[in-house]
């Protein structure tokens, strides 16, 4: 091991010190609290992102900051230590540069000294956390895109209430990858540089026109040519970007990465769309709902009540079963808020009814069973009975 050079000062004096040896410690001329300096403890797997400057802190002044890598989000918490940690800056760091004073009488210049700039009482720790995406839906819902907006090319719509990508990353506490996944989950689309939610009634118009054209032009819903669909919908007065968005929202691309893009309409997504349109009018008797649902979906698609898992709740009133909309997509992503709303909706839940509304909850380091144990109380009258969950 290389020995410290005579008169060396700063962190370099400590870097190569031999085991069992000692070194002089002194107060730096700029010693003080230096609240802008914090120690951050990192898992080794995060080092490449930090060293290559691929991390960013996100959060507003009234929020606890999070650290984001390109793909994950980490909560930050301060952990105190019982021992004093002395922070010694590099000798050549211009901000803390200290010119050693030579004294020929006592040869101080030959003495190895480590000048302490700050005494640290603890460090920041990172804990992987779920992205905080609830604000994303709130932001995009401020100004949904609808039929009244008119032609996209000529539109001079005010940008108040609209958010571009930079606006979102500056306000949403999530990594870039998680933010993109959140936008996809909301079926958001980028229009003229701004991310938008398209009004449900407008999407219903576009999908309805696509289905009508499929009958008129003898298109197979299992092999829709993107260029032909977009061209036809544009001739019907719909913007091309929204025609493509309709295919992305309700379809699956069959030949990813190949020329001549072809789409297949997804039976589940199309059926759920029409079910939601029916239930906009309020709760319905199950039989009446199923009859209307079968009439609305395209020929060849089979609406099954199992498709509505996580989208509706049923209740018995006498001998009749009623159904009403209650979508998991409308619930907050934080477990405490999610369970609070669920138990306001129902005091007791059977597992088959509760599972669709909690299985998407992701808390790093906590399993699904752990979440249930933390937020619910489980009862089971008999070994054969379905478990029932109530608020803890």
Whether 278 is in a domain gets the answer no
In this structure, are 16 and 125 located in the same domain?
yes
Whether 270 is in a domain gets the answer no
In this structure, are 254 and 341 located in the same domain?
no
Q: Which of 81, 100, 129 is the last residue of a domain?
A: 129
| Higher per-residue pLDDT: 20 or 195 | 195
Whether 323 is in a domain gets the answer yes
Whether 362 is in a domain gets the answer yes
CB-based contact 172:132 (threshold 8 Å): yes
Q: Which of 150, 168, 196 is the last residue of a domain?
A: 196
Count: domains in the chain: 4
In this structure, are 254 and 336 located in the same domain?
no
Can you give the residue range of the structural domain that contains 146?
Answer: 134-196
Q: What confidence tens digit (pLDDT) does each residue in 111-168 have?
A: 677 888 888 888 889 999 989 999 999 999 999 998 776 555 445 567 888 999 999 9
Whether 56 is in a domain gets the answer yes
Mean pLDDT of all residues in 294-307: 94
Q: Is 349 exposed, middle or buried (0-12, 13-18, 19+ CB in 10 A)?
A: buried
Q: What confidence tens digit (pLDDT) does each residue in 167-209 have?
A: 999 999 999 999 999 999 999 999 999 999 999 999 999 999 9
In this structure, are 139 and 124 located in the same domain?
no
Q: What confidence tens digit (pLDDT) does each residue in 51-107 have?
A: 999 999 999 999 999 999 999 999 998 888 888 888 888 877 645 555 555 444 444
Name the H helices within the chain.
12-15, 47-51, 134-140, 165-171, 176-185, 200-216, 226-235, 240-250, 267-279, 286-296, 335-345, 351-354, 368-375
DSSP code per residue over 246-285: HHHHHEEESSTTSSS-EEEE-HHHHHHHHHHHHHTT--EE
Q: What confidence tens digit (pLDDT) does each residue in 354-377 have?
A: 999 999 898 887 888 899 999 999
Whether 381 is in a domain gets the answer yes
In this structure, are 204 and 192 located in the same domain?
no
* First-to-final CA distance of the chain: 59
């Amino acid at each position: 091991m290389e020995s410290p050079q005579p008169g060396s000062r700063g962190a370099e004096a400590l870097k190569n010190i031999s085991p069992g040896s000692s070194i002089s410690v002194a107060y730096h001329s700029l010693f003080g609290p230096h609240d802008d300096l914090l120690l951050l403890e990192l898992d080794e797997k995060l080092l490449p992102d930090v060293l290559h400057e691929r991390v960013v802190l996100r959060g507003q002044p009234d929020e606890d900051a999070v650290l984001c890598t390109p793909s994950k989000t980490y909560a930050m918490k301060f952990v105190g230590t019982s021992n004093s940690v002395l922070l010694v800056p590099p000798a050549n760091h211009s901000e803390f540069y200290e010119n050693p004073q030579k004294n020929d009488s006592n040869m101080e210049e030959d003495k190895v000294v480590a000048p302490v700039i700050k005494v640290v009482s603890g460090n920041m720790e990172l804990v992987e956390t779920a992205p905080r995406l609830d604000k994303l839906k709130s932001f995009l819902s401020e100004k949904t895109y609808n039929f009244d907006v008119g032609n996209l090319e000529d539109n001079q719509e005010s940008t108040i209430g609209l958010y571009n990508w930079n606006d979102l990353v500056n306000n949403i506490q999530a990594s870039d990858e998680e933010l993109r996944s959140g936008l996809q989950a909301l079926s958001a689309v980028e229009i003229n540089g701004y991310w938008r939610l398209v009004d449900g009634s407008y999407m219903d118009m576009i999908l309805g026109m696509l289905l009508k054209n499929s009958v008129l032009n003898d298109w197979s819903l299992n092999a829709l040519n993107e260029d032909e669909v977009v061209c036809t919908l544009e001739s019907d007065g719909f913007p091309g970007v929204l025609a493509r968005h309709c295919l992305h929202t309700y379809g699956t691309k069959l030949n990813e990465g190949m020329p001549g893009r072809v789409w297949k309409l997804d039976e589940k997504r199309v059926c759920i769309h029409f079910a939601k349109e029916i239930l906009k009018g309020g709760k319905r008797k199950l039989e009446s709902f199923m009859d209307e649902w079968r009439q609305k979906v395209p020929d060849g698609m089979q609406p099954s009540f199992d498709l509505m898992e996580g989208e509706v709740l049923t209740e018995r009133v006498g001998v009749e079963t009623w159904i009403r909309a209650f979508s998991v997509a409308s619930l907050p992503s934080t477990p405490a808020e999610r369970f609070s709303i669920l138990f306001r909706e129902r005091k007791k839940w059977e597992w088959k009814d509760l599972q669709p509304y909690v299985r998407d909850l992701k808390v790093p380091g906590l399993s699904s069973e752990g979440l249930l144990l933390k937020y619910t109380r489980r009862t089971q009258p008999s070994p054969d009975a379905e478990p029932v969950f109530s608020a803890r």
